[in-house]
Amino acid sequence: MEGSRTPLLLSDLPESTSSNNTGSANFHAHGIRGWSGIQGLKKRGHGSRSWIQIDPLGNTSVVELDKATIMRHCSLPARDLRLLDPLFIYPSTILGREKAIVVSLEQIRCIITADEVILMNSLDGCVVQYKSELCKRLQSNKDQSDDLPFEFRALELALELTCTSLDAQVKELAMEIYPVLDELALSINTLNLERVRRLKGHLLAVTQRVQKVRDEIEHLMDDDGDMAEMYLTEKKQRSEGYPLSDLGFQTDTSSEERVGSKSAPVSPVGSISGAHKLQRAFSSIVSSSRPSLLSSSNSGENIDQLEMLLEAYFVVIDHTLSKVLSLKEYIDDTEDLINFKLGNVQNHLIQFELLLTAATFVATIFAAVTAVFGMNLPDSIFDNPSTFSWVLVICGVACGFLYFSFLLYFRYKRIFPL
């Protein structure tokens, strides 16, 4: 029965059934296309970006890489790649990892390995200058022996361009700040105060950036372990050289065992187990001792070499920071001068107000006397007209004497000089 069954064709079905199946087939096809479109959107949103790849010979190529590929290629965690994301603003950072150096200095964001530099593709002037200058230096030093390895030359250029850019920004800011502060010291008005406020905010942002680069270089200089992680070429040579030497050692020992087995018969069980145990123990000792010996012989020189490199740019960025701090001190001194001037003006106003208050008090006394004589009171003093004139003269002299007494009292108390 089963062998005689024929496959059911779509034409053998009724029209309604075939139409339903056709609709389901169309829905399935559209669903597959929609799912593939969603997957394509996910892949595009996953983070495929344009990078510039520079090899040790100075050759460049533009490649499209996603985060997963870079993480596998450079053995980097995801948090390190976030430092290179242009959508986020992170402070300047230099991280030494097992197979790469993550550099995020201002606009220069790249991954340096022993064989290449993966630079974030951007139209920023610093990125273009870094790419062209690095290729130029690598191509010019192609036939010349350089003491610095590839990763140190790439790191040196990043530090050089960053320090130069920050120093140029500080110089430009100084050329703009000094005239504004001098003008503000001469004329205190709202326009000059607003300009100084804007420049002071810009100076604060530059100070934080310079301070962060300086702290990062100082942190690397203080930590020998972080500097040791940056010797990528040396670590690559060790990783490529040791397995081959260990393999040669094992083949030599195995050939010696074969020669020994032909010349002198021994017990099969004892010879196999003992030889393998001795070989494993000796190979583990050699593999553990060779890296330590080589690292102990070269780490001191390499650390000193990198430390001198970092120290040179630490001096440069520290000098830039001193310029920024001198600008800040100049602004603070100008603010103190303005406060002194405003305080002096306020003191003059208080003195003038005090003089007016004393004069008002004396005038009030004189007005009180005239008010008393202005009343309609019967008195013999009004019979002689000249008597009222003498009263006015005596009151005026008394008020003047009282006012000068106030002035002498103020001078005696040193409220203001007269």
* pLDDT the model gives residue 242: 55
* pLDDT the model gives residue 125: 86
| Residue pLDDT, tens place only, 289-319 | 444 434 434 444 457 888 899 999 999 999 9
Residue 29: pLDDT above 60?
no
* pLDDT the model gives residue 382: 67
Hunting for tokens 């593709």 — which residue is that? 121
Start-to-end C-alpha separation, the chain = 133
Report the 10 Å Cβ neighbour count for 76.
Answer: 21
User: In angstroms, rounded to a whole number, what is the distance separating the alpha carbons of residues 63 and 218?
Assistant: 34
| Residue pLDDT, tens place only, 342-369 | 998 888 888 889 888 988 998 888 888 8
Looking at the structure of the chain, the number of domains it has is 2
Q: Could you give the angle at the alpha carbon of 123 between the alpha carbons of 118 and 129, nearest 5°? A: 70
Residue 396 falls within a domain, yes or no? yes
In 3D, which of 391, 386, 390, 418 has the Cα closest to residue 404?
418
Residue 294 falls within a domain, yes or no? no
Band of pLDDT at residue 47, cut at 50, 70 and 90? low
Residue 295 falls within a domain, yes or no? no
Residue 39: pLDDT above 50?
no
Query: Which of 94, 128, 146 is the C-terminal boundary of a domain?
Result: 146
Residue 232 falls within a domain, yes or no? no
Residue 56: pLDDT above 50?
yes
In 3D, which of 121, 86, 115, 88 has the Cα closest to residue 101?
115
Element housing 62 (H / E) = strand 60-65
Band of pLDDT at residue 25, cut at 50, 70 and 90? very low
Mean pLDDT of 24-34: 41
Residue 316 falls within a domain, yes or no? no
More confident residue, 109 or 45: 109
- CA–CA distance from 269 to each of 114, 183, 220, 252, 328 (Å)? 47, 98, 55, 21, 82
* pLDDT the model gives residue 292: 40
Helices vs strands, H then E, count in the chain = 10, 6
| Residue pLDDT, tens place only, 207-226 | 999 999 999 999 999 988 88
In 3D, which of 198, 166, 171 has the Cα closest to residue 92?
166
Residue 180 falls within a domain, yes or no? no
Residue 375: pLDDT above 80?
no
**Residue 307 token pair:** 């430390």
* pLDDT the model gives residue 30: 42
* pLDDT the model gives residue 146: 64
What rounded mean pLDDT belongs to the chain?
Answer: 76
In 3D, which of 200, 216, 215, 221 has the Cα closest to residue 324?
200
Residue 175: pLDDT above 90?
yes
Residue 140 falls within a domain, yes or no? yes
- Cβ–Cβ under 8 Å, residues 327 and 179: no
Query: Which of 124, 146, 168 is the C-terminal boundary of a domain?
Result: 146
The CATH number of residue 79's host domain is: 2.40.128.330
* pLDDT the model gives residue 262: 38
Task: Tell me which residue range forms the domain holding 140.
Answer: 49-146
Report the 10 Å Cβ neighbour count for 398.
Answer: 14
Query: Which of 86, 119, 146 is the C-terminal boundary of a domain?
Result: 146
In 3D, which of 67, 41, 130, 91 has the Cα closest to residue 121?
130
| Residue pLDDT, tens place only, 69-94 | 988 988 888 888 888 887 777 888 99
Residue 89 falls within a domain, yes or no? yes
β-partners of residue 118 are 53, 111
Hunting for tokens 């603003």 — which residue is that? 89
- Which of 163-167, 248-252, 272-276 bottoms out in mean pLDDT, i.e. has the lowest? 248-252
Residue 283: pLDDT above 70?
no
